[in-house]
Amino acid sequence: GENVEQHPSTLSVQEGDSAVIKCTYSDSASNYFPWYKQELGKRPQLIIDIRSNVGEKKDQRIAVTLNKTAKHFSLHITETQPEDSAVYFCAAINNDMRFGAGTRLTVKP
């Protein structure tokens, strides 16, 4: 089955800086890669996703890149704000659904 590794486990940045979170996956058949943001005690919220037929997708300050050859994908947040502070989860999905262990992002004002 699929195995997803996510790095780093914690990330602290200064407000206005960029943050990058990386995930690798093992199943080359995985074709859908969502990213979720989860604030403490809240539900995971889908913030961006990418399918295997594109290499990059952008939505305002958030972008995701996918390298299918290397089997890794990354979340990029630019101009970070304190409200971006949360735990971020990646996932790689085919028939088997696997989430990474999460990255706790702290944006310091």
CB of 15 to other proteins, least distance (A): 25
Residues interacting with other proteins, by CB under 8 A? 6, 32, 34, 36, 42-46, 49, 51, 89, 91, 93, 95-102
Nearer to other proteins among residue 46 and residue 79 (C-beta): 46
Coil, strand, or helix at residue 37? strand
Q: Where are the alpha helices (DSSP H) in the chain?
A: none
The minimum distance between CB 102 and other proteins, in angstroms, equals: 5
Interstrand relation of 45-51 and 32-38 (parallel, antiparallel or unpaired): antiparallel
